[in-house]
Chain A
Amino acid sequence: METIVSNFLGLYNYWAVVVLMMMGLYVLTAERNLVKKVIGLNIFQMSVIMFYISMAKIKDGTAPIIVDGARDTVYSNPLPHVLMLTAIVVGIGTTALALALVVRIHEEFGTIEEDEIQEQEGRG
């Protein structure tokens, strides 16, 4: 019993990450609307970003800026934040490109519903 509780409550950030991740994957695969697919993709990416950020938090840790006189302060790990800054930029790039493609698809096919696009593709 105790291990179950500590597994759920003690690691709640990872549970949140996994739930978000699966939500993202589900939206990505189940939704037929291209914009909603992009949203699913974003949720999916965001879950990994949350994973890195929550991993970096150290109990009682503070922002890693060295202040004079404070020698034995506990700092949170800044590296994952830096990594995620890059990952967020990558995410923006992907989202922007995806949305640009959706706009172009709408111009060419007149719809952003996958079923209708596939129907048109089947006709050539």
Chain B
Amino acid sequence: MSSPLGELIRENLPALQVILPMIMAPVCVLVRHRTVAWFLAVAVTWTTFAISLALLQIVRAHGLISYAMGGWEAPWGIELRIEPVNAFVLLIVSGISAVVLSAARRSFEEEIPRDRLYLLYAAFLLCETGLLGMAGAGDAFNVFVFLEISSLATYAMIAMGPHRRALTSAFRYLVMGTVGGTFILFGIGLLYMVTGTLNIEDLHHRLQAIDADRTVLVALVCVLIGTSIKLALLPLGAWLPNAYTFAPSAVTAFLAATATKVAFYVMARFVYRIFGADLAFERFHIDSVLMPLALIAMFLGAALAIFERDVKRLLAYSSLSQIGYMVLGLSLASVTGLTGGIVHLFNHALMKSGLFLVMACAAYRIGSTRLSALRGLGKRMPITAATFVAGGLAMIGVPLTAGFVSKWYLVKGALENDLWPVALLVLLSSLLAVIYVWKVVEVFYFQEPPEEAGRQEAPWSMLLPTMFLIGASLYFGIFTDGTVGIAEWSARELLGGAP
């Protein structure tokens, strides 16, 4: 990268990451052709993935990158700030969007009226812009703006689902999501009122010196409520099952792996980087609220999944349960616990999007994801079914899968804090995961397929990305150094306060 253009691109990587999908979205609308739009969108998502890889390398080598939008320096200007943690989140978001979108073309063409597909691709790119921006933004207000950009695109994408209930699910999600966003906005307003700044680093410094206890507490509560809604922590996550069930299959795979994860990152960032662990945990004891909620979410989500008859919705409930693990990691407020939370964010993104893509394959061939329709899938779509089993094992947390690694760190973190009942509960809730995964496996392999059904495997264009994601979640279960290394480093950064 010695040429002037290379240097130019290198300097502007943080901005390009967010801007490229934003610029390509209207181009997708202008071309009005579904295949061309898909091709452009895939090209852009892979480019953002390459950029985020480059950013991660730069951050690892040289420390954080601060990019001043419009040349106005922080804390006055708008800053994009790439640190270890969000470089990791950016990598997940862009990687999952690239893989899912590559797999999505056939599935979309099956489920959505073809003349409106180009709009879906535009919305997909806008959603990616919002999520990348949320992760990259260096000031609190822009977190809100990007959050709303991604949310609006998400509502529109869910509403395009094939069933008419997609509309009501999207509407309910819109109402809940907007309330969440507005709570976050209110919290940011209170913070601005007591500190007079919006820049995240600046906020952190000034908050330590301020003694306006009650205002800061209300701000913290508002932000926690808002982010809990967006990351779907029970009881505020009730919008999630329907939204995931009725959205187009590939959109679900994308959202499950990115939207809630970025919201989790925003929560972690507000708690640790703005308020700081001292303020949030020592003074306001948010762990006494977050930890019980996380435990309830773990169990309630898994228990509801057991009784579900539609696999897509079963996976959605399981997401609620897995989000509980992440929040548990956050509420432990120790390096090990937080490492567990961040590793689980990565691993869960891989396996859940993989599993939802499996369901996209099944929906593509069979037209339904209800258990009764998927009888004998092991015979009808052997590769698809086998992929599901592998992903299911990872989700339970069997050793040598990714799920095991993150639960290992959570249990270890709980034990370090002398919370052995919590460690026990993590293990118990994994048993619940065994039940609901087994329930699906039983239907796939031990029930006879309907007689008229022949063998009809999903197209390779969908299978390969699916197998790639599930394969990755197995790979990162065996070779853990990369993910755990980055996660631990990120956790230290988060806990360490301002560098």
Contacts and interface: CB of A to CB of B under 8 A. Distances in A.
Does A touch B (CB under 8 Å) in the complex? Answer: yes
Nearest to B170: A101
Contacts of B152: 90, 93-94, 97
Given A45-B182, A48-B185, A90-B145, A97 B155 contact: yes
- Of A44, A45, A94, chain B has the most CB atoms within 10 Å of the CB of A94
B179 A44 contact: yes
B412 interface: no
A96 B179 CA distance: 16
Nearest to A103: B167
A102 B174 CA distance: 11
B168 interface: yes
Contacts of B165: 121
Contacts, number: 67
B45 to A, nearest CB: 23
Interface on chain A toward B: helix, strand, loop, or mixed SS? helix
Interface in B128-152: 141, 144-145, 148, 152
Interface of B: 141, 144-145, 148, 152, 155-156, 159, 164-165, 167-168, 170-171, 174-175, 178-179, 181-182, 185-186, 189, 192-193
Contacts of B156: 97
Interface in A54-88: 55, 80, 83, 86-87
B178 A101 contact: no
A98 B186 contact: no
A45 B184 CA distance: 11
Nearest to A40: B175
Contacts of B193: 55
A106 to B, nearest CB: 10
A94 B148 contact: yes
B235 to A, nearest CB: 14
Given A41-B178, A93-B148, A97-B156, A48 B189 contact: yes
A62 to B, nearest CB: 20
Contacts of A97: 152, 155-156, 174
Given A101-B167, A104-B167, A83 B182 contact: no
A55 B190 CA distance: 9
Nearest to A94: B178
B141 A83 contact: yes
A28 B152 CA distance: 19
